[in-house]
Amino acid sequence: MGDKEPYYLAVDPGLHTGWAVWNRQGECLDFGTTHSDDELHQKLSLFETIGKVIIEDYTLWYHKARKQAGSKMPAPKAIGIVETFARNWKAEIIKQGSDIKPIAEKWTERSTKGVPKAKTHVLDALNHGDYYLIKNNIKQIRL
C-alpha cells in the first residue's frame, strides 16, 4: 500500500454522514460529507480496500426515545452500510462513543461549536479519526 492510499476511514453517521480517510502514516488524504444512503454507498465503493474503520457508535437512550419516534433512524442505517463495506474489506471496525468529542476537539483544536448541525459531521469524522490516531501514537497531538 502506498503513501497516498487510504488505510484509515473515520465516519460520523447520520442523515449527513461525515467521512475522512488517512494513509498508514496518519496523513489525512480526503474528507467530506454525504447527504443520502445512496451517496454514502457510492463514496464507499470508491475505496478499493480500507484497513481500519473508525465509526461513532449509536445508542438510542430511553430518555431520547420519545423524541426519536417516527424517525427513519439515519445514523443506524449509515452504520449498517459502513459496517457492510468494512466486512467486505476485511477491515477492523473500531467503534467510539460520542463521549470522546470534548477530548478530540481539544487535541485537534477543531471544534464544532457554532457550526450548523448539517456541517458538523465531517468535523466529527475528522475528530474521531484523529482521536484514534493520536491515542495509538500514529499521529502527534497538536497541543
**Residue 67 pLDDT greater than 70, yes or no:** no
Nearest to 10 by CA among 130, 141, 120: 130
Spell out the residues 6+ positions from residue 54 whose beta carbon is closer than 8 angstroms to its own.
8, 9, 10, 11, 94, 96, 128, 129, 132
What range does the domain containing 125 cover? 8-135
Q: pLDDT over 90 for what percent of the chain?
A: 69
Say if 141 falls within a structural domain.
Answer: no
Please give the residue that has the higher pLDDT: either 59 or 28: 28
CATH code for the domain of 83: 3.30.420.10
CA–CA distance, 129 with 124 (Å, rounded to integer): 9
Say if 140 falls within a structural domain.
Answer: no
Say if 142 falls within a structural domain.
Answer: no
> How many domains does the chain contain in total?
1
Q: Report the pLDDT averaged over residues 73-77.
A: 79
Residue 94 dihedral angles phi and psi, to the nearest 5°: -115, 115
**Please, where are the H alpha helices in 14-96?**
37-45, 62-68, 74-89
Please give the residue that has the higher pLDDT: either 67 or 79: 79
* pLDDT for the residue 143: 61
Say if 13 falls within a structural domain.
Answer: yes
Q: Report the pLDDT averaged over residues 61-87.
A: 77
Please give the residue that has the higher pLDDT: either 29 or 116: 29
For residue 76, name the pLDDT band (cuts at 50, 70, 90).
Answer: confident
